[in-house]
Amino acid sequence: MEERMELACERLIERKEELETKNTVLPGDWQDFFVTQVRLLLLLKEVRDGADKAPVEKLREWNRELYADILPENYERSWCNPTRAVEAFGGELGRLLCSVAAEMRSAIRYAFEGEDEALLIRMELLLQLFYMTEQGFAEDKAAPEYAVYKEDWYSFVSDYFETEYERRAAQLVDPERDFALRIIREADLGGTDYLYRFGEYITENERKLAEYIGSLPEERIAQIADTWTEGYRIGFVNCGKDLSIKTSVNIRYPLGFERVVRRAVSNFEAMGLGSVIYSPGENIFFGRSVSKNGFFGANPNPQFDYDHREDIAVLLDGQMVTRRLECIEQGFAAVKEKAKGHAGPAVMEVFGETPFVPKENANACRLSEEQRRLQVRFRTENLRIVNNYIPGEERSFTIIAFPVPAIGEKFEEIFDAVVRINTLDYRKYLTIQSVMIDALNGARAVHVRGMGGNRTELTVSLMQPDDKEKQAVYENCVADVNIPVGEIFTTPVLKGTDGILHVSRVFLNELEFRNLSLVFKDGMVTDYDCANFSDPAENRRYIEENVLFHHKSLPMGEAAIGTNTTAYTMARKYGIEAVLPILIAEKTGPHFAVGDTCYSHSEDLRVFNPDGKEIIAKDNEVSSLRKSDPSKAYFGCHTDVTLPYDELGLLEGIFDDGSRVSIIENGRFVLPGTEELNEALDEG
């Protein structure tokens, strides 16, 4: 490895000198493309050799230099911009080289984390492409054919799937992979210098957040962390899962919250859990997303992630899907004991940054219809493999969310308000939500109608209890896995679940949707539309990619009633409705999820509400296929769409005898025993 690294660096230095002095047969755009990538990789080698000991001034310099290329003000001229690459090299080759440029950037995290092989193989890939191109221009005065580049790019991805997935599987479940954990444990969290050691992009937002969290008294840090970790523990208790057999937990969080995370790590250790904290690890092997999964800093340019979300389209075929799945299986098999002991994620989300509104780039890689089918197959099989090694019936999770300074000048005030929301007295909601559950127990369906321009007209079929005294159709959710408190939810019966769900504006997976409409027939999405783009086809493709995730249709996996009117009023008071994460937004009105049910992979576990009634609505007609054909039972996605109170004209239960019971009318709770929820609405 050392010899290969030394040789690769020598050759990169030679290429850099050759390109910078223009002592090359390559024409202008080709020279610029390769010298840009060579400079990046040599800088990353410098980072790899010096990150542990570098002074903060050097770390800041690297931070600016490493991410400058894709910042919005520079992106037009970046080789990571599909438009520039296509204009320079043509359609197919331009998209391929653009995806290669993006792959070079994925090595930034590897340099900081000391993953030498991951950095090395990307160096060797670039050198191979350079030599091939140089030879083509030397012999034929032209670059080789596109197929030649594709063969090398394909071979790189196929050859290194095994090592990449072995590394990633270990990162997911092994607390000994402790790059981030060591920083959190050892750094002086009274300042902000430590932020630059993670290798993520750092802005004023992260610095201000770290300063604010660093200024909080220990009692407030404990309150935040303890709420988070106790919710995790209670999630296992409420679901009847044994936490004592688990050995690790995955912490996912935004940089700046290290004091809270340090306390959470200690809390989890007291539960017998080691903490796994990994970077998003986005590249050609694992894909890219605007929404980050791991520890993360600022996103230098969400449009870059959006443009490269389907780079695999250059290469994807059936053979590659099979190869990927084999390597994922091998990767988890290598850490199967640690995977078996993994308990699931504890997630901290943030909100308050300017919402990202993507622009479609016609030159970006896009999956064909056949490739979309292959992606669905991959997601389904990947989910099955993960569930085999980290059994769903044994794991749980918890999610909590907080604002960041980018939310505006009232950040500290909003932060305090969100802490209050996250620590509301669950007993009040427990009682009120029990009234709702009892009122709807035995209802044939729930009818929902919008108002004030909202076109929602939806009937959701419900499961029928055999014994209403011992069984419940809705789960009483009181702030364990989903913080804050405030919802009841059920798995709908698909047959008879019909109508249209419409919302004027909603943010899903950090993407904005305007006038989103989903049409259901027997619980399945049959039509959809939004108003993000002038072209109806673009709107449909936007939903297909980011809500349906390339499935032709998805079932309604959840129907819920959010009851946290305090959160709703807080959002209206500060004008932050548009930036609320789904975690809080779903508590501020009825919401309906497309995809898997809330009980995915745990359907056979017996679950009870706090009043002792067993929850029976855990399956639908699709998820029940797990017993005969698991490949058709799960989709690996679950996306909530919330209908806010001010767009809700009616939510009522309908019974077989024709009687009806109203829960909400004209945006207010009208069921006797729930009126207290209106107090927060009146304050607003």
* Domain co-membership, 557 together with 674: yes
- 373-402 per-position pLDDT tens digit: 999 899 889 999 999 999 988 999 999 999
Cα 380 from Cα 632, distance rounded (Å)? 8
| Residue 501 · residue 527 · CB < 8 Å | no
* Domain co-membership, 369 together with 446: no
| pLDDT for res 127 | 97
> Taking Cα atoms as reference points, which of 488, 493, 518 lies closest to residue 503?
518
Q: Sign of torsion, CA 373 549 632 494?
A: negative
State both tokens at 415: 């932060």
* Domain co-membership, 512 together with 631: yes
- 597-634 per-position pLDDT tens digit: 999 888 888 889 989 999 999 999 999 998 888 778 99
**Coil vs helix vs strand at 274:** strand
Which residue is listed with tokens 């427990």? 430
* Domain co-membership, 678 together with 604: yes
pLDDT at 639 over 80: yes
- 401-435 per-position pLDDT tens digit: 999 999 999 999 999 999 999 998 888 999 999 99
Task: Indicate the pLDDT class of residue 578, thresholds 50, 70 and 90.
Answer: confident
Strands across the sheet with 638-642, in order?
475-477, 487-490, 556-562, 590-595, 638-642
Question: Other CB atoms closer than 10 Å to residue 176's CB: what's the count?
Answer: 10
Angle at 599 between CA 598 and CA 602, to 5 degrees: 155
Least confident of 313-317, 503-507, 628-632: 628-632
- 27-85 per-position pLDDT tens digit: 999 999 999 999 999 999 999 999 999 999 999 999 999 999 999 999 999 999 999 99
> Taking Cα atoms as reference points, which of 159, 174, 237, 638 lies closest to residue 389?
174
pLDDT at 518 over 70: yes
| pLDDT for res 512 | 87
Q: Is residue 234 part of a domain?
A: yes
* Domain co-membership, 539 together with 676: yes
Q: Is residue 112 part of a domain?
A: yes
Q: Is residue 402 part of a domain?
A: no
Cα 434 from Cα 677, distance rounded (Å)? 13
| pLDDT for res 363 | 97
Q: Is residue 129 part of a domain?
A: yes
The mean pLDDT value of the chain amounts to: 94
* Domain co-membership, 569 together with 618: yes
**Coil vs helix vs strand at 62:** helix
- Mean pLDDT in residue range 187-204: 96
Q: Is residue 418 part of a domain?
A: no
Which residue is listed with tokens 């071979």? 155
In terms of Cβ atoms closer than 10 Å to its own Cβ (0-12, 13-18, 19+), residue 343 is: buried
Q: Is residue 538 part of a domain?
A: yes
Question: Other CB atoms closer than 10 Å to residue 660's CB: what's the count?
Answer: 12
| pLDDT for res 679 | 94
End of a domain among 394, 417, 444? 394
Give the number of C-alpha atoms closer than 13 A to the C-alpha of residue 469, restricted to the C-beta side: 0
* Domain co-membership, 224 together with 287: yes
- 329-359 per-position pLDDT tens digit: 999 999 999 999 999 999 999 999 888 888 9
> How many structural domains does the chain have?
3
pLDDT at 511 over 90: no
Strands across the sheet with 493-508, in order?
524-529, 511-521, 493-508, 457-461, 445-450, 648-654, 660-665, 668-669
| Residue 276 · residue 342 · CB < 8 Å | yes
Angle between helices 258-270 and 204-215 (to 10 degrees): 60
| pLDDT for res 291 | 86
Bridge partners (DSSP) of residue 351 are: 403
Cα 204 from Cα 212, distance rounded (Å)? 12
Q: Is residue 34 part of a domain?
A: yes
Q: Sign of torsion, CA 16 71 195 511?
A: negative
Helix (H) or strand (E) holding 117: helix 116-140
SS3 content of the chain, % helix, strand, coil (to 5): 50, 20, 30
Report DSSP letters for 644-666, one per residue: -GGGEEEEEEE-TTS-EEEEEET
| Residue 194 · residue 258 · CB < 8 Å | yes
The domain containing residue 641 runs over which residues? 425-683
Backbone angles phi, psi at 16, to 5 degrees: -60, -50
- 237-288 per-position pLDDT tens digit: 888 899 999 999 999 999 999 999 999 999 999 999 999 999 998 999 999 9
* Domain co-membership, 202 together with 340: yes
- Mean pLDDT in residue range 166-179: 96
- Mean pLDDT in residue range 584-609: 91
**Coil vs helix vs strand at 189:** coil
| pLDDT for res 425 | 85
235/556: higher pLDDT:
556
pLDDT at 218 over 90: yes
Give the number of C-alpha atoms closer than 13 A to the C-alpha of residue 523, restricted to the C-beta side: 23
Taking the alpha carbons at both ends of the chain, their separation in whole angstroms is 63
Q: Is residue 56 part of a domain?
A: yes
| pLDDT for res 479 | 65
| pLDDT for res 582 | 85
Bridge partners (DSSP) of residue 525 are: 520
| Residue 657 · residue 403 · CB < 8 Å | no
State both tokens at 309: 């979300």
pTM for the whole structure = 0.89
* Domain co-membership, 481 together with 573: yes
* Domain co-membership, 254 together with 107: no
Percent of the chain, pLDDT > 90?
86
Cα 490 from Cα 478, distance rounded (Å)? 14
State both tokens at 609: 């509400």
* Domain co-membership, 121 together with 202: no
Percent of the chain, pLDDT > 70?
100
State both tokens at 125: 């890939």
* Domain co-membership, 294 together with 431: no
Bridge partners (DSSP) of residue 501 are: 518
Which residue is listed with tokens 């027939």? 521
Task: Indicate the pLDDT class of residue 684, thresholds 50, 70 and 90.
Answer: low
